[in-house]
Structure 1
Amino acid sequence: MNRRAFLQKPAAGVLAAASPTEAAARYEAASGGDDEKISRFANQELPRTARSTATLAPYTGPWGYSQAAHLLRRSLFGPTRQEILTAAGQSLTQVLNGLLAAPVAPAPPVNVSATDTSVPIGQTWVTQPFDQNVEGVRRSSLRAWWLGQLQQQSVSLAEKMTLFWHNHFVVELGDINDARYGYEYCRLLRQYALGNIRQLAKEVTVTPAMLRYLNGNQSTGGAPNENYGRELLELFTIGKGPLIGAGNYTTYTEDDVKAAARVLTGWRDNATTLQGYFTASRHDTGTKQFSAAFGSRVISNGADQEYKTLVDMIFAQADTARFLCRKLYRWFVYYVIDATTEQNIIEPLAQLLISNNYEVAPVLRALLGSEHFFDAVNMGCLIKSPLDFTLTVGRQLQVAFPTSSSLPTQYSVWDYINGITNLQQQVLGDPPNVAGWPAYWQTPQYYELWINAVTLPRRNQLTDALISSGGITRSGFTLRIDAVALVQALPASTASDANLLIGELSRLLFPIPLTANQLSYLNDVLLPGLPDFEWTVEWQDYVANPTNTAKKAAVQTKLQALLRTMMGLAEYHLS
């Protein structure tokens, strides 16, 4: 098969490469004049190319750098070269054990703004009284802190899964307008990132952020609000089966939405305790009749425990497990789920989820350790999200970030990275709506939604700015790719050989091999019109005289040109 076919769509035009002096300025000048969401070159229908017929059988094929890189690219936000090498030196089982081990919960976000005079700089605000006057800076602190957890991730699936649950059990921080609620929501997602989905569904149902976001705090016996009941069924658990009537599906009916809304009445959010609480007088105490989709189940008054009965009823349906496994598959593998994938992957994963009482870790272990996951067709077929793209640039190319020795600077830079992903149409903490980011559900475009006439130039402008000698400066700190230091970290024999160097950088930056013509082109970028030995001479001259500015400039200019070109290739946007 031609694994590169999806890279061969007609191009709207070629973006001119920015000079080092122009790069940072051009990124700063990017504005939202054209807010295109869907490229005219995106899918008009789902791809018809053959998909993998491999099963969930444990992978027993070759294990080395390329397989370890594939696993870590999908599990982390930009695995570093050292992380890949370490994983390649272990067994697949050992790597999966590490990925599925939950890290220690991070300390909460802190105040870094002089505006919030109620909390000293460096102290947390998460338990302080709500104050609309400082809500903006606290929310910025929360977003920055969250971005920092992604940027400083350990070799664990915890952060990738926390973001998955954020995209699944969606709230929008801007809508709930209480950063303290937002933090409790983030803490809950991280707590259950690798844990029990059913328990997470129960707890998120009555967490203050969700009660406020989907109006559960306004739902009373006399006026049940259907928002959360509808999304619980349609988006959070069982999903829509085939349509069987107006508003009715094989998996649930419109009457089920109404019955669920009645079950969920009586809950409110407490701005002092930061918890959801139940008020019996606001609850519908009548019996709730559900449709044949749920075995015509009747739920009687269970007061503050009744919502748990509802969640248990929904999770007793096999379609709930199937729906969740499809979402996990699209997050980690690919968006096309054909009949073979449904039979070979989704159904057995769903049964595994059910048999493990809805613990997600066994499902992740089976999927990420399977023949199917390591099939060549499933490598390099995802387009990186803005968060994945931006964080990968920084982590893989060893961009230095501020440390906690200066919290205001650290948070300021993290906040700036959030601004960058915002320009690329992904805002951490604020998916566009309750369905999450469309790239994970909008057919037939799916991941292609991340690339359009607005976002692609902004990606290129970011990488051009970071590889420029000036980099990007925020709060007195400069973010910059140090190309010379990056190459110095490679084995000496690799760093001094032009073709070995290009090959080593390529296997770090690209999830699929480059063609011979591409490698030859990159060689010409590094050594325009020069023989290969010229790089060896120049690099060794620099290594022997590292304080000689002329010799350093000679190799630095060449490496900057090489990396700028590599980050401009279509393959660089893939995972």
Structure 2
Amino acid sequence: TMFGAKKADVDYFKGLSMSQAVDELLNPAAPNPAPPVKEYATSTTPGVNADANILQGTTWVNDINSDGTVQAQRRASYKKWLTGVMINQDRSIREKLIMFWVDHFGNETTDVGFGNWAYTQHSLIRQYALGNFKNLVRDISKDVMMLRYLNGYLNNKNAPDENYARELFELFTLGKGPGSQYTENDVKEAAKVLTGWQINGTTYTSVFNATRHDTTNKTFSSFFNNTVITGRTGSTAGDLELNDLINMTFNQAEVAKFIVRKFYRWFVYYAIDAGTEANVITPLADIFRSNNYEIKPVLSALFKSEHFFDMLNRGCYIKTPADQVIGSLREMNVQFRPSTDWDTNYGLWNTFFNWMVNMGQNLHDPPNVSGMPAYYQEPSFHEIWINSDSLPKRNQFTDTMINTGYARNGFRVQFNCVAFAQTLPNPGNPNDLVDDALKIFFRNDLSAQSKQQIKTQILLTGQQWDYYWTNAWAAYVSNPTTANFNTVNTRLKSLFQYLFNLSEYQLA
């Protein structure tokens, strides 16, 4: 439910009951993050600076600017910022759910081109991430980025564009399962409902143009109970007919089932058999519908269920690149500069964003409107994250963070293995050290034989007795000289590098 957990997070939630922990995860108390700032450099050539309105270190999100180079810089700035937000997440599910919904709606930032529009859509999703799904679908239907990405801004009565209408049914609400029986004509009629919406390029807002709207009645199939959406005229026609379309769609029970299946595949397991469909999906879908598509009640029921805590559902998923990169940074409690040092932070966040891209996940830039294939492509699903190219990069990332890390403006971020060990209850005991580290890093325990071998070969450097580590640690604690530090640091770096490279660490 989070991108990794710091030991402090784990300790905090251990002090709560299961029900209290779930409630806290679903009710973020921390304020939303400050918007991204201009950390990029623009031309200093007189008459060429296309971004002169915004000073470095101040936000660009409300500035209207159609220069392609500037918008490319803002897209990059948005993704650096988003990486930092994920690293600095609060103790809630909010950031994980935002990624879920961004992937669900599948807009490609690079294709749309405008960093401002990407941030606006992100803010809309952030507003509704733990709110009402029905309202989210209604509002994102006229979101500027969505209008641009799926050609809604071109949709008019003389040439209805079916792109958004098709994805509204197929990908955003009803899905393609056996219970989704809408027709091709339903798509055409929905496209007519959605005619008239355009983008105001001087305000970066969506507007409704009544002269482009199809005012005829729209008739739908028996799947939608032969509903007729009355054609309207005037400035309110767009909103009124959109509301009718959303209400008609959400009257179908399949909407709740489709979204609950996606929740299940995101948070539990990718395979849904007949028993899971009957005993988990259907009851949760009933909760979703009975609560008028409020998101919190259905997630609360899922996270508090016995099924969610079944051992068979633990460590059964390959981590996403975000879970790998962001999760390891958080588990190792990597610290960044204060927010006032935006240049250092954005530069470092860009490094970690690029690592995620290299592993196969480009934030807010899926390969197409369906989202990332690992979330929907049968039968592989999560196995898509691992291949002969991405697995070595995963290991290379943690190896680099252990051995050198990354520096910017004289500030270095690196996995501090000694500092991490000091947070554990009994780091002087090699058995406890290995056990406690595994509880943080792994979702499933290793065998006693494996742990014994790791301890002996790494912490004891091949020796037989535990005191080879205990004495080394005690010497460092009592007299932290460079020599004593190097002794324990070398062994700890080898230990954590080995653990991060094990296949078990790739599982969430």
Map of 1:157 onto structure 2:
93
Query: How far, CA to CA, are the matches of 1:202 and 1:475 in structure 2?
Result: 45
- Quick one: distance in 1 between partners of 2:482 and 2:406? 22
* Cα distance between partner residues in 2 of 1:474 and 1:393: 20
Contact 1:240 1:252 in 2 (8 A): no
Aligned to 2:45: none
Partner of residue 73, structure 2: 137
Does the aligned pair in 2 maintain the 1:464–1:564 contact within 8 Å? yes
Letter in 2 for 1:263: V
SS at match of 2:305: coil
**Alignment gaps of 5+ in structure 2:** 43-50
Counterpart residue number, 1:519? 451
Q: Quick one: higher RCO (CA 8 Å, sep 6+), 1 or 2? A: 1
Which of 186, 191, 195 is residue 131 of structure 2 equivalent to? 195
User: How many angstroms apart in 2 are the aligned matches of 1:250 and 1:471?
Assistant: 50
- Alignment-derived partner of residue 414 in structure 2: 480
Give how far 1:250 is off: 4.5
Count how many residue pairs are aligned between Structure 1 and Structure 2. 491
Separation of aligned partners in 2, 1:488 and 1:105: 32
Matched, 1:449 2:384: yes
Match of 1:182 among 102, 114, 118: 118
405, 425, 437: which one pairs with 2:372? Answer: 437
Task: Tell me if structure 2 keeps the 8 A contact 1:412–1:475.
Answer: no
TM-score, scaled relative to structure 2:
0.95
* Structure 2 contact 72–114 (Cα < 8 Å) conserved: no
Corresponding position of 1:552: 485
- Does 1:495 pair with 2:431? no
For residue 459 of structure 1, the aligned residue among 368, 378, 394 is 394
Residues 480-523 of structure 1, C-alpha deviation per residue, up to 9 Å, x if partnerless? 111111111223xx110001000000111000111112102211
Which of the numbers 197, 220, 223 marks the counterpart of 2:159?
A: 223
CA distance in 1, matches of 2:254, 2:486: 61
The answer as to whether partners of 1:195 and 1:361 remain within 8 angstroms in 2 is yes
Contact 2:442 2:504 in 1 (8 A): yes
2:211 is the alignment partner of 1:297: no
Please give the TM-score of this superposition, normalised by the length of structure 1. 0.84
Amino acid in structure 1 at the alignment position of 2:399: D
Task: Map 1:74-473 to 2 at 5 A.
Answer: 75-102=1-28, 103-115=30-42, 116-130=51-65, 131-242=67-178, 250-302=180-232, 303-304=237-238, 305-468=240-403, 470-473=404-407
SS at match of 2:3: coil
3-state SS of paired residue (1:101): coil
Alpha-carbon shift at residue 475 of structure 1 (Å): 4.7
Distance 2:111 2:410 in 1: 32
Q: Which of the residues 507, 532, 544 maps onto 2:466?
A: 532
* Aligned counterparts of 1:183 and 1:127: Cα–Cα separation in 2: 10
Q: CA RMSD in A?
A: 1.2
Whole-Å separation in 1 of the counterparts to 2:436 and 2:298: 33
509, 519, 526: which one aligns with 2:441 = 509
Q: CA deviation at 1:86?
A: 1.3
**Contact between 1:379 and 1:512, CA under 8 Å: does it hold in 2?**
yes
SS of residue matched to 1:392: helix
Amino acid in structure 1 at the alignment position of 2:227: R
- Structure 2 residue matching 1:404: 3-state secondary structure: coil
| Separation (CA, whole Å) in 1 of partners of 2:270 and 2:148 | 31
Maintained 8 Å contact 1:413/1:475: no
**How do 1:29-40 and structure 2 match up within 5 A?**
none
Identity score, percent: 44
Residues 4, 330 of structure 2: 8 Å contact kept: yes
Shift of 1:527: 1.6
